[in-house]
Amino acid sequence: MGVVGTGQARSDAFDKVTGRALYTDDYSMAGQLYAVLVRSPYPHALIESITVPPLGPDCFVFTAADLKNNYIPCIFNDQPVFASDKVRHHGEPVAVAAAPTLEGAHALAESVQVVYRPLGIVDDMLHALDDDAPKLFEKGNLCTEFHSLKGDPEAEFGACALVLEHSYDMPVQAHGFLEPEAAFSYIGDDGRLVLISSTQNSFGDRFTVCNALGLDLQSVVSTAATVGGAFGGKDGNTTQIYAAIVTHFTRRPVRCVFTRQENIRWGMKRHAARVDARAGFSSDGHLIAFSGHIRFDTGAYAMLGPSVLRLGMEHMCGPYFVPNVKLDGELVYTNHAPASAMRGFGAPQGAIAIESFMNEAAGKLGLSVLEIRKINAIRTGCAGPMGGEFEHSIGFAQALSAFEKTAFWDEMKNRPLKGVGYGVAAGMMSSGLGKHVPDSCHVSIDRQSDGSFVVSTSLIDMGQGSATALAQIAADCLGVGFGQIRMRMGCTEGTGDSGSTAASRSTFVCGNAIALAAKKILGGENHAEARFDFPEAGGEAVHTMFAFIVQGVKLSVDRADGSVRLLDMVSITDTGRVINPTLLDGQVFGGVVMSCGYTLSESIRYRDGKSRETDFGNYTIPTSLDAPALENHIVEVPEACGPFGARGMAECPTVAVAPAIVTAVRSLCPDADISSLPIDRYQLMEKKHGVCSSHT
Amino acid sequence: MRKINCIVNSKPVSLEVEDGRTLVDMLRQDLGLTGTKKGCGTGDCGACTVLLDGVSVNSCICLAALADGHEITTIEGLQKDGKLSDIQQAFIDHGAVQCGFCSPGMIMSAEYLLENNPDPSDEEIRRALSGNLCRCTGYQQIVDAVRDVAASRRQAD
Ligand code: FES
Ligand code: FES
């Protein structure tokens, strides 16, 4: 009996419940400096001059002039480390100030004099491409675009029995991880710069630092501390480069920790989106044609936006086979803080359209919301929305059947409670970085003198539990107990670059690499290395492997004040073989509640280029009172090439929550027009004589 | 500067702090008790929850001076003779810990709840923890853990 498939307790839980786990801000050293950013007060302006006042002892200021390369390596390399000639968003870093106390560093940052010449701003992405829109870059405000056509949707719409059309405005969402962005750096005993940070990619951080400072890669060691949540928002530079710059020039230990205000206003975000979609059905419920357009607001810089755009388009028709598909999208620059990766990576924005269509079409065509999904469910071997085919295992149809057996469905179908709204939606989410992005994982396993094993990889456990799940895989591959495995993760030393811990890929790609290395150990070696490459999608497809989810929500609406009370939410998840059901439940529950916030309360709104939300006081993420009671069930359709049959799933639970909630709310408030998130409470208030009955 | 005499995790402590020092900074920086976390500094997230004379408070919006002459319990003070408290253990067993950044504060709030309400309903558990944000777990396994501890404590009585 192995440990895979059991709810093995997390290996890091003891340290976390006792307060022993060391997060980045828990490190300190004698002689350390605090680094604080000098940020732009303008959303768009030319920089005329930067004047650093005479510096006292132990006080330092660094700007673009101190750097070898003033850009953050990413897809387009369009983001400077420090703005030098122009600022493109409110709060953009212009310089870093460092002093022995945090108060001193703040005062020093205040004293740096920057003269700006303000420019007109792009505050609304819908106008970003207008002829008279101020330009962020010389090339204009179109960052990149996406187009794909399969079949002839325009012609087919004419022949459809039912054509549905809707537009949605989707909000900017903050990751809301509880640990703000943080980095700590110092010069190690061997003279190398050591960077400890809250990150999803230590190799990426090392490259960013070395690129900016013109250092050899070997002169920097980058490692992840215990990470207090990430969800995509620590995939790329946040604080790391600023701490490292100060350490490099001063040779002193440096901590750079963002305040919650910095996090909410200027941390990475989920892209705001305008979604326009149209779906055509035959009279028997087959989805015949789909056309979708999404405009994503990437803010001032591309960051991972081009990949988000591509993935968002690819997921726009959901887990359904559609013969005729037209997909168009664009990523536009605005003078907002940059958006980048966030759990779901562009998929939740589009899912609201297709899932709402499915529910609406079911009602109009006399099918149940599960029947219409079964009729259209993708299966292994069927063609994807952009051509190419779904090559790997798919348990979506099984998940729909399992949903049919839940108490939730029985109640919803046969004895719905009065005053309660029910909504069902489904979603899929790819795993893997996608075509043309190197996606491999390096692992090494070392047999210790006491008979235990150390398994090393640069992938990082940001809280999702991969250290535990991967140790379970290693234990079973090596035929030893869970306690015999120690995971060493997130460091540039010891193993090769396994890329970013993102895209729901760790369990699959690293689990496979562990299995390969374990074989060598079983063959008698004491040290074994292995690398596993994520299988690349064939044809036009970007991704090739997916997880699936079917979700139902039960809620009530207070029509007097428009508030929504979430009661229960049940999920059926298909992610192949489950390595650890307790961890899986946790991923599902966390993803669901994060998306409950997306649907009902969370939004960063810009006025004159500045976010109105500034901290957790006005950017409200769900509390334990807001969250519904949660249930998760699994269907296990094993993946032939997965470790023990597993596929990745960490992002999947975020995809279909909004459409489920929106459908349930619509059932109780048929008069409400819900075309934007978070759902506007005023829309849900009982209308009396054309005005709302009450105001809050 | 101001002199503070207090009891932290059952040990008498005396130190000098700046006038405006918050309790969380005193614990984390002056006393090295980094188990207490700081997620916002504005009283909104609960990551900094500690017990002041047995009552749960957000230590980021308490001045250190408030502790003078009083008793503070932090997450580091929950283990008795090296043994985890039943709530700490239940958090591990139920998968109520993910990134763990909210866990110390969440556990302190749970300790306070069960000290004062040995038989809470789910609604009461959720209300008692509603000042402690968690972005990872969706709260379900945390509520399960607390309910479980309440039941076994009642059984033991
Ligand atoms: S750090 Fe004190 S409430 Fe957030
Ligand atoms: S476990 Fe990460 S915030 Fe609660």
* pLDDT tens, position by position, A503-512: 999 999 999 9
* Residue A164 counted as domain residue: no
* pLDDT tens, position by position, A25-80: 999 999 999 999 999 999 999 999 999 999 999 999 999 999 999 999 999 999 99
Looking at the fold, whether A499 and A372 belong to one and the same domain comes out as no
Looking at the fold, whether A273 and A364 belong to one and the same domain comes out as yes
**Between vectors from CA A432 to CA A426 and to CA A436, what angle results, nearest 5°?**
125
Per-residue pLDDT at A688:
58
Looking at the fold, whether A316 and A279 belong to one and the same domain comes out as yes
Looking at the fold, whether A417 and A457 belong to one and the same domain comes out as no
Print the domain residue range for A525.
13-21+434-533
Average pLDDT over residues B15-36: 97
Looking at the fold, whether A561 and A451 belong to one and the same domain comes out as no
Query: How many A from CA of B9 to the centre of ligand 2?
Result: 24
Written as six digits, the tokens of A694 are 């009450």
Which chain A residues are closer than 8 Å to B135 by Cβ? Answer: 175-178, 229, 231, 590, 594, 621
Amino acid in the structure at residue A527: H
* pLDDT tens, position by position, A279-303: 999 999 999 999 999 999 999 999 9
Which residue among B27, B37, B48, B133 has the greatest number of ligand 1 atoms within 8 angstroms of its CB, and so is best to mutate? B48
Looking at the fold, whether A370 and A406 belong to one and the same domain comes out as yes
**CATH number of the domain where residue A111 is located:** 3.90.1170.50
The domain segmentation of chain B, as residue ranges, is 2-78, 86-156
CA distance A286 to A323: 10
Q: Report B:85-114 residues touching A (Cβ under 8 A).
A: 88-89, 91-95, 97-104, 107
Contacts 24+ apart (CB under 8 A), A123-127: A123/A43, A123/A334, A123/A335, A123/A336, A123/A606, A123/A607, A123/A608, A123/A609, A124/A334, A125/A272, A125/A274, A125/A295, A125/A296, A125/A297, A125/A332, A125/A334, A126/A274, A126/A295
* pLDDT tens, position by position, A477-496: 999 999 999 999 999 999 99
Residue B141 and residue A627: Cβ atoms within 8 Å? no
Q: Are strands A485-489 and A453-457 parallel, antiparallel or unpaired?
A: parallel
Pick the atom of ligand 2 nearest to B100's CA: 1
Residue B44 and residue A616: Cβ atoms within 8 Å? yes
How many separate domains does chain A show?
3
CA distance A579 to A582: 9
* Residue A558 counted as domain residue: yes
Residue A682's alpha-carbon distances to A311, A561, A565, A667, A687, in angstroms, are 33, 8, 15, 16, 9
* pLDDT tens, position by position, A96-107: 999 999 999 999
Single residue among A501, A533, A565 that ends a domain in this structure: A533
Looking at the fold, whether A292 and A410 belong to one and the same domain comes out as yes
Numbers of helices and strands, H then E, in chain B: 5, 5
Residue with tokens 């990437």: A298
Q: Is the pLDDT of residue A694 over 70?
A: no
Q: How far is A308 from chain B (nearest CA, A)?
A: 22
Single residue among A533, A560, A576 that ends a domain in this structure: A533
* pLDDT tens, position by position, A197-220: 999 999 999 999 999 999 999 999
Q: Report B:8-67 residues touching A (Cβ under 8 A).
A: 28-29, 33-42, 44-45, 47
* pLDDT tens, position by position, A601-613: 999 999 999 999 9
Pick among A10, A178, A255, A626 to test the B interface (most B CBs inside 10 A) = A178
Per-residue pLDDT at A695:
42
Residue B135 and residue A617: Cβ atoms within 8 Å? no
Q: Which ligand is nearest to the CA of B138?
A: 2
CA distance A147 to A313: 9
> Which residue in A338, A307, A340 sits closest to A235, CA to CA?
A340
* Residue A584 counted as domain residue: yes
What pTM does this model have? 0.97
* Residue A612 counted as domain residue: yes
Per-residue pLDDT at A691:
52
Residues A333 and A141: beta-carbon distance below 8 Å: yes
CA distance B140 to A585: 9
Q: Whose CA is closest to atom 4 on ligand 2?
A: B134
Written as six digits, the tokens of A102 are 């945090």
Amino acid in the structure at residue A376: N
Per-residue pLDDT at A541:
86
Using 50, 70 and 90 to split pLDDT, how confident is the model at A435? Answer: confident
* Residue A214 counted as domain residue: no
Residues A269 and A340: beta-carbon distance below 8 Å: yes
CA distance A174 to A621: 9
**CATH number of the domain where residue A608 is located:** 3.30.365.10
Q: Is the pLDDT of residue A462 over 80?
A: yes
Looking at the fold, whether A491 and A597 belong to one and the same domain comes out as no
Helix axes B140-156 and A581-600, enclosed angle (nearest 10): 120
CA distance A645 to A649: 13
CATH of B86-156, one of 3.40.1160.10, 1.20.1370.20, 1.10.150.120, 3.30.565.10: 1.10.150.120
SS3 annotation, A207-271: HHHHHHHCCCHHHEEEEECECCCCCCCCCCCCCHHHHHHHHHHHCCCEEEECCHHHHHHHCCEEC
Per-residue pLDDT at A593:
98
Q: Does B142 touch chain A (CB under 8 A)?
A: yes
Residue B41 and residue A465: Cβ atoms within 8 Å? no
The string over A484-498, giving b where at least 16 C-beta atoms fall within 10 Å of a residue's C-beta and e elsewhere, is bbbbbbbbbeebbbb
Q: Determine how many CB atoms are found less than 10 A away from the CB of residue B149.
A: 24
* pLDDT tens, position by position, A393-402: 999 999 999 9
Helical segments of A524-580, H only: none
Residue A113's alpha-carbon distances to A49, A258, A266, B49, in angstroms, are 8, 22, 21, 39
Per-residue pLDDT at A538:
83
CA distance A619 to A277: 29
The C-alpha torsion from B118 through B124 and B128 to B134, rounded to 10°, is 120
Q: Which ligand is nearest to the CA of A179?
A: 2
Residue B24's alpha-carbon distances to A31, A215, A475, in angstroms, are 22, 38, 40
Phi and psi at residue A271, to the nearest 5°: -65, 130
Looking at the fold, whether A459 and A503 belong to one and the same domain comes out as yes
Per-residue pLDDT at A690:
52
Looking at the fold, whether A378 and A501 belong to one and the same domain comes out as no
Averaged pLDDT of chain A? 97
* pLDDT tens, position by position, A241-250: 999 999 999 9
Looking at the fold, whether A559 and A413 belong to one and the same domain comes out as yes
Residue A178 and residue B35: Cβ atoms within 8 Å? no
- Identify the CATH class of B2-78: alpha beta
Percent of chain A surpassing pLDDT 90? 96
CA distance A616 to A207: 32
Nearest to B42 among A28, A616, A627 (CB): A616
Q: Whose CA is closest to atom 3 on ligand 1?
A: B43
Looking at the fold, whether A303 and A350 belong to one and the same domain comes out as yes
Written as six digits, the tokens of A392 are 């790997």
Single residue among A503, A533, A563 that ends a domain in this structure: A533
Phi and psi at residue A98, to the nearest 5°: -135, 140
Residue B99 and residue A228: Cβ atoms within 8 Å? yes
Residue with tokens 């999404």: A294
Which residue among B42, B63, B75, B108 has the greatest number of ligand 1 atoms within 8 angstroms of its CB, and so is best to mutate? B42
Cis amide linkage into residue A253, ω under 30° from 0: no
* pLDDT tens, position by position, A294-349: 999 999 999 999 999 999 999 999 999 999 999 999 999 999 999 999 999 999 99
CA distance B153 to B108: 17
Residue A350's alpha-carbon distances to A150, A170, A652, in angstroms, are 18, 9, 14
Burial of A218: CB neighbours in 10 Å, binned 0-12, 13-18, 19+: exposed
Residue A250's alpha-carbon distances to A52, A97, A106, A186, A245, in angstroms, are 17, 12, 18, 10, 9
B39 lines ligand 2 (CB under 6 A): no
B38 lines ligand 1 (CB under 6 A): yes
Pick the atom of ligand 1 nearest to B48's CA: 2
CA distance A568 to A423: 11
Per-residue pLDDT at A33:
98
* Residue A311 counted as domain residue: yes
3-state secondary structure of A374: helix
